[in-house]
Amino acid sequence: MKLANLADVPTTGRVTLPTEVGAEAEARELLVKLGADAVRNSDGTEVPEEFRDMGLKVYGKRFCNRGDNKWANSHPEELSELYLLSRPVTARSSRVEIQLLAGYFTEQVQVDVQHEPAIWWEVRDRTTGAVVPAANWSVEYESDGETPLTAVDCKVVVDGAEPFHEYTAAYLAYDIWDPVQMYNHLTNGWGDKPHEKTFDNFHPATRAHALAALKQWLEDNPKTTVVRFTTFFYQFSLIFNDQAKEKYVDWFGYAMTVSPAAIEAFEAERGYRLTPEDFVDEGYYHTYFRTPTQRWLEWMDFVQRFTADAAKEFTDTAHSLGREAMMFLGDQWAGTEPYGRYFPRIGLDAVVGSVGNGATMRMIADIPAVKYTEGRLLPYFFPDVFRESGDPAGEAIDSWIQARRAMLRNPVDRIGYGGYPSLAAKFPDFVDVAARVTQEFRTLHHFRTSAPDVLGKVAVINAWGSLRTWMPFMVAHALPYRFTEPYFGVIEALSGLPVEVQWLRFGEPIPDDVSAVIIAGTRGTSFSGGQVWDDPGLVAACREWVDAGGFLLGVGEPSFWLKGGRSFQLADVLGVDQEVGFSLSTDRYPSYARSHWVAEDLPKDWAPYDGAKGVYAIEAGAQVVRENDGYVQLAVNEYGNGRAAYAAGLPYDAVNSRLLHRLLLWGTKADSDRPAYLPDNPLIELAHFGEKNLLAAVNNSREAQTARFRDETGTEQELTLAPWAMDWFEL
Amino acid sequence: MKLANLADVPTTGRVTLPTEVGAEAEARELLVKLGADAVRNSDGTEVPEEFRDMGLKVYGKRFCNRGDNKWANSHPEELSELYLLSRPVTARSSRVEIQLLAGYFTEQVQVDVQHEPAIWWEVRDRTTGAVVPAANWSVEYESDGETPLTAVDCKVVVDGAEPFHEYTAAYLAYDIWDPVQMYNHLTNGWGDKPHEKTFDNFHPATRAHALAALKQWLEDNPKTTVVRFTTFFYQFSLIFNDQAKEKYVDWFGYAMTVSPAAIEAFEAERGYRLTPEDFVDEGYYHTYFRTPTQRWLEWMDFVQRFTADAAKEFTDTAHSLGREAMMFLGDQWAGTEPYGRYFPRIGLDAVVGSVGNGATMRMIADIPAVKYTEGRLLPYFFPDVFRESGDPAGEAIDSWIQARRAMLRNPVDRIGYGGYPSLAAKFPDFVDVAARVTQEFRTLHHFRTSAPDVLGKVAVINAWGSLRTWMPFMVAHALPYRFTEPYFGVIEALSGLPVEVQWLRFGEPIPDDVSAVIIAGTRGTSFSGGQVWDDPGLVAACREWVDAGGFLLGVGEPSFWLKGGRSFQLADVLGVDQEVGFSLSTDRYPSYARSHWVAEDLPKDWAPYDGAKGVYAIEAGAQVVRENDGYVQLAVNEYGNGRAAYAAGLPYDAVNSRLLHRLLLWGTKADSDRPAYLPDNPLIELAHFGEKNLLAAVNNSREAQTARFRDETGTEQELTLAPWAMDWFEL
């Protein structure tokens, strides 16, 4: 085993950098140090002329649905819309007044009173769930002078209400300020800079106008070689409150894809009409964590197909003028669904997106049907991090460590940065880190010309399946939430483990080559399953699959559905169940396996942060490997010819990632005494390329690390890696 | 304000002590020191002859359903029975074998195969919930030689099962070893001492025999003046496992009240037949925490009426021979329900029960329709506490402190101890404590000749109402459980606070004199309500009551029922709701009131142990007084003319009890600047007897305490109390 020869690794290419008029010198120096071959502009900056003639790729960002208030103002009926749900109002008498915009930001949204409320709105008694007939309510409003189609002060008045029932109104509203521009505007204090309105390309006139504008822009910018669309038509759900602060954000949401025209087109096509409730969903707006209804899935499908077909007109325009079409994975990406069935139709050359960790890296890298992918690394060259007390170099190392282990599995083709080079130049330690990162990235591509060896194929099962590949448990992009961190850790760990990952919906057949399945999440959500577990067919199929030799890993509250005396419908498989307060009268005498093989790398006091509470081993059930305060944190079970394991939570860190690695080995009966290429130090991970006799080793820490491991001949090897190093070895 | 004159306080009376043959001298000394006027026997001891002629009351314990194996063995078909649910068995093929006694203790229970299984048993597919027709299963067993009516090795064989569905069998079993004797037998290692069988007095022959035996016993023991029944007919639910350890215990359970004869009598009376599922309840056996079904409530009613009427035959027998009839609140007390409608029919003179804290004290003291009540104080004179490393004096002080504050509200009429005086005599510090306790108790009765002043009336609302007065949240008697401690603390605090307490079922009208209601508990349970909150009528009535000026205190997960976008159906009243994972996309900006009046006695870092997680203030909702890790621990809200407050949990301690006191004052708008008789030190509590110008002050700690408070004239007073002292003052 010797270090691979680095002499042939290219020192330029695969890197995109931002440039900035007025900071040309700093940008030039960065270009050289990082070996960049492409330049881009950022918010509020332009690519300086000199960089347009250096043979580099030149990216230019392009909005399809905003940045043209002249059009927006002259076509107010083609602005983007959404359904909003009012605050619930408790009736004190038979008359209830519902102030529609209470709690909303009237600079962002205005009530659409043009489309007949009696047809397009819905008032509900939330205490009974019943719809209030339109004859029993009316709308009162004052229109503002400027936009006669909308109303700023508008209420629904219900007559004949049941006292002390709660009432809501779901109504159409226009989105009169693009949410991303609004966010930037408010965050950066842009003062009286005009608010950009968003228009809806579902309307043919608007779409024709946007296409013509794109064409004109391409002609005006002949040296822009790559059109970077930001993104296409529909903003991910982002709604502000009456204090001009974020009120609702769902990076996966379709709340802002609505228009009466689209609802009517949907009805004409599918034979039924969606109601306001289909969109507002009791106020949850079909958050990612709700198990989607069939109607909602059909709406999503409808939006996706429209988006793909219409976006193709834009990419075709770019192609017709000899440019590449690149999509930014963000902003108006609702409906694009890179893993959906219509995505290939868009005809994109590339996708670029922000990379904060392993899962977001794989989310971009694994996208099918594009020529290349690009990851925008953290941190952006923005003043929030590039300031005196900031640590941009440290942040860059931490996020690189998390993304890099996933790149060994499947890398993006390019990386890049965003922001202002003038800021980066003030932090030479950051520039050194970035230079090392970019060269490591080229080294990785130099040696990694095919996929490394894997243990096998693991399926993650939830309500979304492959549509949301690498995306589970994200509330906003790459931001972990306390409720989801114990489960997101599973996805993050998988992104860099030596396994193939398959994404399945509940009820989809498990392919023959899958040897392990994972079900993780909080009870009742789309991830743990909720009501799907009321289906005996699904329950029996899961049991049968494990019984026949499969491995089921449950994390959190998998298969939670109170029925037949069980909290977890797969309690017999997992060997554990959850106390909800009904069996406090039952004494429990679990059996323990505290030094189980799966736990060999765990500290004695290991316990995951948060995760499920009240889980216990059932009679004659699982062996408890770790418990906390009397409840199971980790347990293993034998089930027929198969195995199962349970963890209350697995937030991402090196120890938990190693635990998952060991669980997958044990569960698939690959728990030999010392499996090959499993280092004894969880901070070091290996990627083995058997066919090429290559081994990549990464140190996932900022200190030097040593590890011993066995190679495939059984010979013990030892290696020491410098802080956060990646070394390549020939075997 | 001066100390009351103690000269007239009697120094004897109101105290019962155990005696013991062979320890007469120690018992005599105790009798004198504690001023006892009654003696009793304990398990395995008898009252020595000399104490029977001293003019003392002499208690003799009496079992009604055990201690007569000759009868039991000659009438095996009249033994006590219960329904058991087998362990679930997952079908691997169309044939499933269910070992009925797997996991049960065959020395306690045996399968009843005398009553036709096809009629009396039920096999279920728990994966679908469906009943398997009796034609599809059969019973295989070997009978043991000695008891031909029961089977020790017995299985149900199901044919035509759905593979990978789970199956259970619910079957009748005989209870062949009295659970309490079994517990004592196993705990104390009684070796080959015979196992006492329990017979069921529902059978007329058995009852006639038991009555005759009682009469004989009374004639044989003419100096026993008080018959202490232990208790009557049906053991609280207590089932052991195959390791001879406790498997299931529910002090409030009716699992062991079953017999085919009673089921048939119930059917004849009510017109419908209960099924095995009505008893096994998916394996939860209608634990106290399950919202009871109407069928189950009717069964409980049926058992209660039978118990009262039959028990009257026993008390009549005692009375006819000139003895008092006293009931021990424990062991076979299922069906007696001291707060039930039939209890007065029993005709008891007294009830005695164990007192571990304030709630259990009130549970006994408040029992209606008896001449007197008696509390058996902790610790028992048993070797578990009365040993070298034990601290019986300390334990006695702690439980006395908790019980005493409740006695100021309503005391038991007598107190006493249990166990072996020979043990107590070895701990002179304990004897000193007991002497002080008994004299304090007599002092309390001397001055407290009527009820102290109260703030008003508080209703605790749950599925059980007054039937379970002072009993909520107990899994076994006076044993707090981790799941319930955050809620039981409310009951314990109330037991000593200056309020009257009313116990209501959900849906019962709230009486006019109730100014505050409390709903506390874990979601889905009988205490927080579960499915009752699907009823719009109940929800609207609660809202209306608060709106009109009432005060609602919610603790834990009150009114939890996912519907209409709410987790708590009373979220609008409480001003808080609970995150279950569906609204992670919603940003929250609560308003805070960290120095609110209710929190004036709280430490800065106050947070209750456990309790509900994920609670947040709704938009325009409650003011957050305390939060922990981003979630509400304490919040207050205004609602119409009323008020509401929310606490995630309130485990019992002096600070939380004071918090509850302040919440009740604030909620009922009695939050003046400095209310009268509210000391500034939570460890001191006052009971004010306005009519008599008396004030009782207790120090609820083992250190000296000082407090200032305002009397009703507004004058500030200060007092200092010795460690755990109770002082009486004339105003």
Q: Which of B246, B209, B257, B238 is nearest to B81 (CA)?
A: B257
Measured between CB atoms, which of A237, A290, A536 is closest to B582?
A290
d(CA A636, CA A662): 12
Question: Residue B726: inside a domain, yes or no?
Answer: yes
- Mark whether A441 and A497 lie in a shared domain: no
- Mark whether B429 and B387 lie in a shared domain: yes
Tens digits of residue pLDDT in B642-657? 999 999 999 999 999 9
Angle at A472 between CA A569 and CA A726, to 5 degrees: 120
Range with lowest mean pLDDT among A287-296, A472-481, B206-215, B536-545: A472-481
- Mark whether A514 and A442 lie in a shared domain: no
Q: Which chain B residues are Cβ-neighbours of A284 within 8 angstroms?
A: 565, 582-583
Q: Given this model, what pLDDT does residue A374 score?
A: 98
- Mark whether A599 and A535 lie in a shared domain: yes
Distance from CA of A648 to the nearest CA of B (A): 16
Q: Which of A569, A584, A615, A641 to mutate to test the interface with B (most CBs of B within 10 A)?
A: A584
d(CA A88, CA B530): 22
Question: Residue B690: inside a domain, yes or no?
Answer: yes
Distance from CA of A297 to the nearest CA of B (A): 17
Q: Given this model, what pLDDT does residue B610 score?
A: 76
Question: Residue B541: inside a domain, yes or no?
Answer: yes
Burial status of residue A72 (CB atoms within 10 A of its CB: 0-12, 13-18, 19 or more): buried
How far from the centroid of its chain's Cα atoms is residue A402's Cα?
A: 16
Tokens read off for B589: 């900006």
| Residues whose CB is less than 8 angstroms from the CB of residue B364 and which lie 6 or more positions away in sequence, other chains included | B329, B351, B352, B353, B355, B373, B374, B375, B412
The residue among A650 and B481 whose pLDDT is bigger is A650
Question: Residue A283: inside a domain, yes or no?
Answer: no
**Model confidence at B212: pLDDT above 70:** yes
Q: Which CATH number belongs to the domain containing residue A560 in this structure? A: 3.40.50.880
Range with lowest mean pLDDT among B187-191, B441-445, B699-703: B187-191
φ/ψ of B34, rounded to 5, equals -100, 0
Domain count, chain A: 3
Q: Which chain B residues are Cβ-neighbours of A616 within 8 angstroms?
A: none
- Mark whether B470 and B589 lie in a shared domain: yes
Q: Given this model, what pLDDT does residue B475 score?
A: 76
Measured between CB atoms, which of A543, A544, A585 is closest to B248?
A585
Closest residue on chain B to A286 (Cα): B582
Q: Given this model, what pLDDT does residue A1 score?
A: 87
- Mark whether A377 and A486 lie in a shared domain: no
CB contact under 8 A, B163 and A540: yes
Tokens read off for A277: 């409730």
Three-class SS of residue B638? Answer: strand
CB contact under 8 A, A565 and B247: no
Confidence bin at B144 (pLDDT 50/70/90): low
Confidence bin at B477 (pLDDT 50/70/90): low
The proportion of chain B whose per-residue pLDDT surpasses 70, expressed as a percent, equals 98
**Model confidence at B316: pLDDT above 60:** yes
CB contact under 8 A, A126 and B564: yes
d(CA A642, CA B423): 57
Distance from CA of B543 to the nearest CA of A (A): 6
Q: Given this model, what pLDDT does residue A274 score?
A: 98
The residue among B637 and A147 whose pLDDT is bigger is B637
Distance from CA of B434 to the nearest CA of A (A): 33
Question: Residue B105: inside a domain, yes or no?
Answer: no
Q: How many CB atoms lie within 10 A of CB A246?
A: 20
pLDDT, block means (10 residues), chain A with 731 residues: 95 96 93 97 83 94 95 95 98 98 96 95 98 97 68 92 98 95 89 96 98 98 96 96 95 96 98 98 96 97 98 98 97 97 98 96 97 96 92 97 98 96 95 98 97 97 98 78 90 98 98 98 96 98 98 98 98 98 93 95 82 94 93 97 97 96 97 91 97 97 98 94 98 89
CB contact under 8 A, A249 and B587: yes
- Mark whether A532 and A646 lie in a shared domain: yes
Q: Which chain B residues are Cβ-neighbours of A536 within 8 angstroms?
A: 125, 127-128, 162, 165
Residue B714: strand pairing partners: none
The answer to whether A331 is a known catalytic residue is yes
Q: Given this model, what pLDDT does residue A149 score?
A: 66
Q: What is the domain extent for residue A605?
A: 457-667
Question: Residue B266: inside a domain, yes or no?
Answer: no
Tens digits of residue pLDDT in A111-138? 999 999 999 999 999 999 999 999 999 9
- Mark whether B384 and B480 lie in a shared domain: no
Q: Which chain A residues are Cβ-neighbours of B569 within 8 angstroms?
A: 127
* pLDDT (average), residues B613-631: 94
- Mark whether B483 and B375 lie in a shared domain: no
| Active site residue ranges of B | 331
Q: Which helix (H) or strand (E) holds B246?
A: strand B246-250
- ipTM field: 0.95
Q: Which helix (H) or strand (E) holds A604?
A: none
- Mark whether A498 and A595 lie in a shared domain: yes
Q: Which of A291, A585, A587, A615 to mutate to test the interface with B (most CBs of B within 10 A)?
A: A585
Question: Residue B366: inside a domain, yes or no?
Answer: yes
- Mark whether B499 and B356 lie in a shared domain: no
- Mark whether A505 and A611 lie in a shared domain: yes
Tokens read off for B319: 């009375």
Q: What is the DSSP string of A227-283?
A: EEES-SSBPPEEEEBTTSSEEEEETT--TT-B-HHHHHHHHHHHSS---HHHHHGGG
List, in sequence order, every beta strand (DSSP E) within B290-384: 324-328, 350-355, 372-377
Three-class SS of residue B283? Answer: helix
* pLDDT (average), residues B511-526: 97
CB contact under 8 A, B87 and A586: no
Q: Which CATH number belongs to the domain containing residue B56 in this structure? A: 3.20.20.80
Question: Residue B417: inside a domain, yes or no?
Answer: yes
CB contact under 8 A, A522 and B580: yes
The DSSP secondary-structure symbol of B534 reads G
Q: How many CB atoms lie within 10 A of CB A222?
A: 11
Q: Which CATH number belongs to the domain containing residue A706 in this structure? A: 2.60.40.1180
CA diameter of chain B: 83
CB contact under 8 A, B126 and A566: yes
φ/ψ of A229, rounded to 5, equals -75, 135
Q: Given this model, what pLDDT does residue A479 score?
A: 67
| Residues whose CB is less than 8 angstroms from the CB of residue A607 and which lie 6 or more positions away in sequence, other chains included | A626, A628, A633
Tens digits of residue pLDDT in A327-369? 999 999 999 999 999 999 999 999 999 999 999 999 999 999 9
**Model confidence at B140: pLDDT above 90:** yes
